[in-house]
Amino acid sequence: MNTYLNKLFNLEGKVVAVTGAGGHLCSEMARGFARAGCSVAVLDLRLEKAIAVKNELNAEGFKNVIALAVDVTKKEDFVVALDAILSGFGHVDILVNGAGINGPTPFFDLTLDEWHAILDSQLTGTFLGCQVFGRYMVDRGKGSIINISSASAGPPLSKAFTYSVAKAGILNLTQNLGREWGTKGVRVNALRPGFLPTEWNRKNFITPEREAAILGHTPMSRFGEPYELLGATLWLASDAASFVTGAEIAVDGGFSCMTI
């Protein structure tokens, strides 16, 4: 059985690039890929955060890890990162587009600067990652791209206006590319996390009343933990998901199936 499962889900020797990999969720994904036997490129705007994840993995014994500073709103940063990964590891098999910011500003108080900053970091960053790495993968004839959707992708969540618009766009982009590249050997899927709050989320979004509303709408009646995304993430990256593209996979404790 172990041999069968290892063959089915095997990621040994694969090369993964993860954007936003210095953050709460994507750092855990980077750890999961390294522990699954992958070479990992930890990409983040905040190079010090990327280096911290790299150093942590190096200390665990995983040496095939590089840290790169990438501003996902700049196409040239993706081009430079792809070149560095190819130079260091020879190829790229998997891309996780996980970078992005949020904001709790009330709708009538939203400025164009904040609107564009969130859309650029989330939607434009995902578009550029798919464009640069996707071109490489399509030319190579294989690859897996995992975009990070959200419970706010639809119906939208309150207090996250621009973020919700961006996540809806990411889901639509994922479906578009799943269709476009269906015969190209490149799969494009979205992971839809539920509520796995950071300290920032708890401070800026989750009041006691909002926490009660969230958990009351979650059949498992609890928040998730970042490691609980790893099963779906590794599955989507592996050949076990070879007939899965254009899909959105919810890991949300049942939030998306709840009504009353």
- Secondary structure letter of residue 246 according to DSSP: S
User: Residue 218 has which token pair?
Assistant: 């979650």
Q: Contact at 8 Å (CB) between 40 and 33?
A: yes
Sequence-separated (6 or more) residues with CB below 8 Å from residue 38: 11, 12, 13, 14, 15, 16, 64, 94
Q: Measured between alpha carbons, how far is 162 from 101 in angstroms, rounded to an integer?
A: 10
Q: Give the relative orientation of helices 161-180 and 125-140 as an angle to the nearest 10 degrees.
A: 10
Choose among 202, 204, 216: nearest CA to 255: 216
Angle at alpha carbon of residue 77, lines to 72 and 83, rounded to 5°: 130
Q: Contact at 8 Å (CB) between 151 and 102?
A: no
Residue of 4, 136, 163, 227 marked catalytic = 163
Q: Contact at 8 Å (CB) between 147 and 124?
A: no
Q: Is 136 assigned a catalytic role?
A: no
Q: Contact at 8 Å (CB) between 130 and 145?
A: yes
Q: Catalogue the active-site residues.
A: 163
